[in-house]
Structures are given as structure tokens and as C-alpha cells.
Amino acid sequence: MSDIPYLSVIIPAYNEAERLPETLVLLKDFLERQEYPSEVIVVDDGSKDRTVELAKEIQNRFPELRIIENAQNRGKGAVVRQGILAARGRYRLFMDADNSTPATEIPHLLKEVPKYEVVIGSRYLHKDSIKIKQSWKRRVLSRAGNFLIQLLALPGIKDTQCGFKLFSSEAAGRIFSRQTMTGWSFDFELLAIAKQLGYVIKEVPVDWFDAKQSTLRASRAYSSSLRDLLILRSRLRQHFYH
């Protein structure tokens, strides 16, 4: 087996003691059935519960699992960036701790490489992708937010916010080293950086299940993201990320 993983999977985690263990077990089962070498990196974002303790228990029987601990909460974007840049894989994917898009969807993204260096999962390309729907309020906010993101920064990208994105190691290094946003906005900032650097973004349909226990406070997140979107639009006009 090669010392360099073909695939690195990064999972950001904040107070995910109830959901992360099952996700790791399912991910372990999936990766053990693949022919390529892999690694998994859980990046804890200053959790106050047993997230790290439970991850370490699974690590005892999952040698490909690494855990990065942070004492302070810094935001999802910050820890995803930390994990991606710490990874060693030829391809680097981040996914959510709640398993909203399961590991079994990884092959749909990998089949698009090496033709594309940035491949993202999408809930909105296929009408049957959403297996468990969000509340009506979140659906309205999500679609309105996506409309604004397409209008102001990323025309043609149907779903910028799905937490299931794959990058080649080279693209990851160039894109994430330029990332500045650490909250919910980091997803669309990454894609805007990728486009400004000349990468073609391949969007593929993936299955998605709404996580009912999500800790994201939608109204506050969308409000701050609108501000960040306006900042991003200004930066793109100035070619800030070159």
C-alpha cells in the first residue's frame, strides 16, 4: 500500500458526540471496501461535549483516522481549511459530521477526476437527490440564498452550500491558502476562488438527507452570509484572490 493516500476525507466537528461516531463507523466500512489507500481527518472545533473522546475510541480500531483538536471554536470554514491543508491525499474531500451526504456518494465525485480538479456534490441537479427535506423555512432561505449567490458571484452553480466537495491536492493548496471566510460563507468563497484561479467546477448530483438536529441557526447564518456575499462580490471585482 502506498504511503500517500489516494483520498483524504476531512470531517469538521463541533459538539457532534451524538452523530459523529455513527458517521465514522459508516465511513470506515465504506473505505475498507475500496482498493485505494485513504485517510480520515476529524477536525474538532473546540467541542464542549464528548466529540473528541468518542472519536478517539473509534480511532483505536481505525488506524487511518487522525484527530486534530482545537481548544477554541473558530468556525466550520476555519477547521475545514485546517484539515484540508493538513491532509496528504492526492484528492481531498470534506463532508459533514451528520452524514447528510453519505460516504457511498464519494464514487460519484471520484469518477470525474482527473478531468476536473474541483468536483462538488449538488442537491439540486436531480429532483430525487433530496431524500429527507428541510423545513419549509430552511428551504425558502436556502433557495433565496442560492439565487443571490448565483446572481452576485457564481452564475451557473446550482448548489454552492452542499457540504460534500472534492479537490485535487494542487487545487486544494492554491484555493484553501487564499480562503479567508470561516463561517457558513466559506463554501461559496472557495468556489469563487476556484473560478478566479481558472478551475472548472464540476457539479454532480448526490443523495442528501436533512439532519434534523442541525445546530446551525438559519436566520443568523443567512444574515451574516449576505454580508459576506457582498464582500466577496467586491473582492472578485478587484481580483483579490489572484
Domains in the chain, start-ordered, CATH in brackets? 7-237 (3.90.550.10)
Contact predicate 91/168, CB 8 Å: yes
For residue 240, pLDDT over 50 is answered with yes
Average pLDDT for 33-57: 98
* Residue 206 banded pLDDT, cuts 50, 70, 90: very high
% residues pLDDT > 70 (the chain):
87
Q: Which residues of 200-220 are buried (b: 16+ CB within 10 A; e: fewer)?
A: ebbbbbbbbebbeeeeeebee
For residue 86, pLDDT over 60 is answered with yes
CA nearest 91: which of 173, 34, 166, 198? Answer: 166
